[in-house]
């Protein structure tokens, strides 16, 4: 039995969708905190169980009879480590054998507050737990690009504080497909994989592709953090959120998200989505 947490979120739900293409629904368990968001999973025959990462007894109950757990990491700006420790401890108490954890890609030692600190602590805790572990260091989602640079094509200038840094973006659905393939194949005991795209792109590359698609010059301008944060605040984002976006720029500038690895490509059996394909379908639908 495979249990996927965060099953009403993006990655968890999509991973279950892929699992259902190869695995009987009776062997899949979805962990959710709000049953009303999971009625379609119930309809598809998935065993839906309820627990919050903060509710230890409910987690132990939910993990009974499970062999493998995919722990979809908790959201930033919450006590991620406490939640992850609860899940790991409860899995152990309930007799789970193998736990997969979705970390963020770390191709350098850059430490990003709210994200890598709790990932590092979770990974150490998991390794010390005695459970079989598989750590999935997920690349930055293509779907997150719009938060960083806006969801409209910029007129002439793309402002972002990433310097010459690159990101090996990966589509969340492709991450989910690769994750489902890893969950259902052997040989991943006590392994760590970086699930990045196969190519890394700079923000010059993004501006160049947008120029080509829009048919007008769009230039990337690397900024300091403050002007970028001010621009995002002026666009209506709370300062804490604007600052979080800027931190991804700093992470990119330091190469944290730039490493390219072939695990996603191998698991998919084809090249993952390219920058041009992603920008075309997202910013120029129907073109």
Residue 267 backbone dihedrals phi, psi, to 5 degrees: -70, -35
Distances from the Cα of 16 to the Cαs of 32, 34, 77, in angstroms?
12, 17, 26
d(CA 3, CA 92): 14
Smaller CB separation from ligand NAP, 16 or 131: 16
Shortest Cβ 34–ligand NAP spacing (Å): 5
Smaller CB separation from ligand NAP, 10 or 150: 10
Task: Using CB positions, name the residue nearest to ligand NAP.
Answer: 9
Distances from the Cα of 230 to the Cαs of 141, 151, 217, 243, in angstroms?
24, 17, 24, 9
d(CA 2, CA 62): 12
Smaller CB separation from ligand NAP, 14 or 218: 14
Shortest Cβ 156–ligand NAP spacing (Å): 27
Tell me which residue of 143, 136, 145 sits closest to 104, measured CA to CA: 136
Smaller CB separation from ligand NAP, 40 or 157: 40
Smaller CB separation from ligand NAP, 122 or 223: 122
Tell me which residue of 274, 225, 262 sits closest to 112, measured CA to CA: 225
Smaller CB separation from ligand NAP, 6 or 161: 6
Shortest Cβ 111–ligand NAP spacing (Å): 16
Structure tokens at 58: 């409910």
At which residue do the structure tokens 């998200």 appear? 257
Runs of H (alpha helix) within the chain? 10-19, 39-43, 56-62, 80-94, 116-128, 145-149, 172-183, 203-214, 225-234, 239-253, 263-268, 275-283
Shortest Cβ 217–ligand NAP spacing (Å): 29
Distances from the Cα of 153 to the Cαs of 38, 75, 162, 252, in angstroms?
35, 28, 18, 21
Shortest Cβ 22–ligand NAP spacing (Å): 20
Q: Are strands 166-167 and 201-202 parallel, antiparallel or unpaired?
A: antiparallel
Chain positions contacting ligand NAP, by CB under 6 A: 6, 8-12, 33-34, 37, 52-54, 72-75, 83, 102, 104, 138, 140-141, 144, 172
Smaller CB separation from ligand NAP, 198 or 218: 198
Shortest Cβ 144–ligand NAP spacing (Å): 5
Shortest Cβ 65–ligand NAP spacing (Å): 19
Distances from the Cα of 244 to the Cαs of 116, 158, 161, 220, 249, in angstroms?
13, 18, 12, 20, 9
Smaller CB separation from ligand NAP, 26 or 75: 75
Shortest Cβ 262–ligand NAP spacing (Å): 18
Crossing angle (nearest 10°) for helices 116-128 and 80-94: 20
């Amino acid at each position: 039995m495979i249990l996927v947490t965060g099953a009403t979120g993006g990655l968890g739900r999509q991973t279950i969708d892929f699992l259902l293409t190869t695995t009987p629904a009776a062997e899949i368990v979805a962990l959710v905190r709000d049953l009303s968001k999971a009625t379609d999973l119930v309809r598809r025959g998935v065993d839906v169980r309820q627990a919050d990462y903060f509710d230890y007894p409910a987690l132990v109950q939910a993990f009974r009879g499970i062999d493998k757990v995919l722990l979809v990491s908790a959201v930033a700006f919450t006590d991620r480590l406490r939640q992850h420790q609860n899940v790991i401890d409860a899995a152990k108490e309930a007799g789970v054998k193998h736990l997969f954890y979705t970390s963020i890609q770390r191709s350098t030692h850059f430490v990003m507050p709210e994200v890598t600190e709790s990932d590092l602590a979770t990974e150490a805790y998991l390794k010390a737990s005695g459970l079989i572990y598989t750590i999935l260091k997920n690349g930055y989602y293509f779907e997150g690009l719009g938060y960083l640079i806006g969801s409209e094509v910029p007129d002439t200038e793309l402002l972002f504080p990433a310097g010459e840094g690159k990101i090996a973006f990966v589509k969340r659905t492709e991450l989910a497909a690769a994750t489902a393939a890893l969950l259902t194949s052997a040989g991943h005991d006590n392994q760590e994989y970086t699930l990045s795209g196969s190519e890394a792109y700079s923000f010059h590359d993004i501006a160049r592709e947008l120029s080509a698609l829009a048919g007008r010059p769009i230039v990337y301008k690397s900024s300091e953090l403050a002007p970028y944060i001010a621009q995002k605040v002026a666009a209506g984002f709370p300062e804490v959120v604007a600052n979080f976006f800027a931190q991804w720029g700093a992470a990119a500038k330091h190469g944290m998200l730039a490493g390219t690895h072939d695990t996603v490509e191998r698991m998919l059996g084809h090249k993952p989505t390219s920058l041009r394909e992603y920008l075309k379908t997202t910013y120029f639908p129907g073109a």
